[in-house]
Amino acid sequence: MNTVAERTTVVNEGMRLAVFETGNPDGDTIVLVHGWPDTHELWSHIVPLLADKFRVITYDSRGAGDSTVPQERAAYRLSSLASDFYAVVDAVSPGRAVHVLAHDWGAVEVWEAAAEPRATDRIASYTSISGPNLDHLAMWSRARLTKPSWTGLKQVFAQLRASWYTVTFHIPGLSTLRIKRQFAKGWPAFLQEFSNVDPALVTQNPTLFSDATNGTNLYRANLIPRMLKPRERYVDVPVQLIINTEDVAVRPFHYDDTHRWVKNLTRNDIPAGHWSPISHASEIAALTDEFIESLPR
């Protein structure tokens, strides 16, 4: 087993993506995709738990860490992020499908990729944490608003309340001010308050503030268009949802309709907050491994 990550670069759409490989070179390949405002370092507690068995690939998404920062908002559209994902997959495993574990906006972009026709040849399984398919989320909301019930309306407004911060991310000056105030006490303190993460487990990346401010373009480029004009997006690859029941940003009940869109769906709830890849690394690694092992070879 290789315990030192080997760094390479994958170029896609003019973006230079920093890619890191470690683990068992003879094992199945698993690609880990981080969200906002993280880098590949999000997975630092999970990678060692998977490395004995899997060849583990992580990378910095465009706009984060050591990867290229796009100059235009349009470059953050999900179609481009999914294209980056496939560019990495094709570079690291050109002849064989990979397993995927993704969190937050990383999960959102992999949902985009998983609904493409080529997914069945390139994605062997997908484990999603705290990041919805935006089309599915919009459809879930519409279903509860067009045929309202008390429970359905409460759920929609609870998710809206949980997502209110995204409004500020659409306003450039206000978003920067909000990020400065949120992170004023440091990233470990923020994660402890927001997600009940032990600060001793958290490392603050040197690019955190720029990654956070650049990453607000993810929200501006994607949220409103997808919520206003959702598409029917079906997923044929095996999907596992790891639901953080204490996630204050992504409420668990909005996955209740996911079975309508995913042919092979597994759901596992864990008592965790949003940043469970840090606070509950062992549980996530075990569930991911067990899900992969449950699939036919």
Q: Read off the CATH number of the domain in which 113 is found.
A: 3.40.50.1820
Q: Which tens digit of pLDDT belongs to each residue from 79-105?
A: 999 999 999 999 999 989 999 999 999
Q: Which tens digit of pLDDT belongs to each residue from 54-88?
A: 999 999 999 999 999 999 999 999 999 999 999 99
Q: Does residue 149 contact residue 125 with C-beta atoms inside 8 Å?
A: no
Percent with pLDDT over 90 in the chain:
78
Q: Does residue 215 contact residue 73 with C-beta atoms inside 8 Å?
A: no
Strands 15-23 and 2-12: what pairing?
antiparallel
For residue 134, pLDDT beyond 90 = yes
What's the confidence (pLDDT) of residue 2?
62
What's the confidence (pLDDT) of residue 116?
97
- Burial per residue of 214-228, b for 16 or more beta-carbon CB atoms within 10 angstroms, e otherwise: bbbbbbbbbbeebee
In terms of pTM, does the model score above 0.75? yes
Lowest-confidence range among 3-7, 21-25, 43-47, 191-195? 3-7
The structure tokens listed for 166 are 């995204």
Angle CA 212–75–202, to nearest 5: 25
Q: Does residue 261 contact residue 136 with C-beta atoms inside 8 Å?
A: yes
The span from the CA of 72 to the CA of 56, in Å, is 31
Confidence tier at 167 by pLDDT (50, 70, 90): confident
Confidence tier at 151 by pLDDT (50, 70, 90): confident
Expressed as residue numbers, the domain containing 110 is 2-294
Strands 123-129 and 239-244: what pairing?
parallel
What's the confidence (pLDDT) of residue 1?
61
What's the confidence (pLDDT) of residue 172?
78
Give the DSSP letter string of 102-126.
EETHHHHHHHHHHTSTTHHHHEEEE
Q: Does residue 257 contact residue 280 with C-beta atoms inside 8 Å?
A: no
What's the confidence (pLDDT) of residue 13?
96
What's the number of domains the chain is made of? 1
The structure tokens listed for 190 are 């923020």
The span from the CA of 42 to the CA of 103, in Å, is 9
The span from the CA of 243 to the CA of 247, in Å, is 8
Confidence tier at 153 by pLDDT (50, 70, 90): confident
Order across the sheet with 29-33: list the strands: 2-12, 15-23, 55-59, 29-33, 98-103, 123-129, 239-244, 265-270
What's the confidence (pLDDT) of residue 110?
98
